[in-house]
Amino acid sequence: MSSLTEQASKHPRLHQLPQTHQLKALMTIIRDAETKRGDFVFYSDRVIRLLVEEGLNYLPVVDKEVTTPMGVPFQGVAFEGRICGVSIMRAGESMEQGLRDVCTSVRIGKVLIQRDERTAQPKLYYSKLPRDISDRWVLLLDPMLATGGSAMKCIEVLLEAGVREDRILFINLICSPEGALTMLEKFSKMQIVTAEIDEGIDARKFILPGLGDFGDRYFGTE
């Protein structure tokens, strides 16, 4: 493990899924260049489901008492905050169904950010967000965090829309340590939930060892 990866793995606002054998096996399938598209989609969806479930652990709850069919009171909890999803197009759209499977009728906004050819900086091309997003917790969806340029631009868009930074959860399959650390340094309250922290990025800004272009493999546009 590189020292940067180790540093990222200890960051208090970077939450890695429990590194179970099951998760390792799923990640091994989707990282394998030989994996065909059907399996890539199927196993990515399984990891996305685990990520969304884990993300919900960071939402606030309030005490709630119910009565069981045995007529006995049970001291439980209920989710308190309202949520929405925001996917960073195009790869983040692959995570929308995983969110819907867990949170029925959840509102989902979309943001399209691409590199401006002239300035080489991430530029906002399109955004459509729920009207009441400033009252909600936001699960920001993007499977691959390389430099973090697009995701950080997207967080700026959310903050401009009135979202509280401490209510932003970035849900991600694989992050580079430098991308994650840059993002957590720039924004001091948001949190990241990821499956695995990789070793770094190459000259083309692809994550290593990574899994290649997620959007192309998921949507079949290789």
CB distance 181 to 154 below 8 Å? no
- Angle between the 21-31 and 37-56 helix axes, to the nearest 10 degrees? 140
CB of 204 vs ligand URA, minimal distance in Å: 9
CA–CA dist 14, 84 (Å, integer):
20
**Active site (annotated) includes residue 37:** no
Q: Least separation, in Å, of the C-beta of 94 and ligand URA?
A: 10
Q: Which residues pair with 73 in a beta bridge?
A: 67
Peptide bond into 209 cis (omega under 30): yes
Query: How many CB atoms within 10 Å of residue 174?
Result: 23
Of 6-14, 39-47, 117-125, 210-218, the window that binds ligand URA (rule: CB under 6 A) is 210-218
Q: Please, which residues have CB within 8 angstroms of residue 97's CB and are 6 or more apart in sequence?
A: 45
Nearer to ligand URA by Cβ, of 45 and 213: the residue is 213
Decide: is 179 part of the binding site for ligand URA (CB under 6 A).
Answer: no
Q: Which stretch binds ligand URA (CB under 6 A): 18-26, 129-137, 151-159, 207-215?
A: 207-215
Q: Is 213 in the site for ligand URA (CB under 6 A)?
A: yes
Q: Is 84 in the site for ligand URA (CB under 6 A)?
A: no
| Window 132 to 151, contacts with ligand URA (CB under 6 A) | 144, 146
CB of 211 to ligand URA, least distance (A): 7
State yes or no: is 68 an active-site residue.
no
> Residue 9: CA atoms inside 13 Å, Cβ hemisphere, count?
14
CB of 182 to ligand URA, least distance (A): 14
Is the Cβ–Cβ distance between 177 and 154 less than 8 Å?
A: no
Contact range with ligand URA by CB under 6 A, out of 12-20, 42-50, 160-168, 208-216: 208-216
CA–CA dist 146, 210 (Å, integer): 10
Residues annotated as catalytic (active site), given as ranges: 115, 119, 213, 216
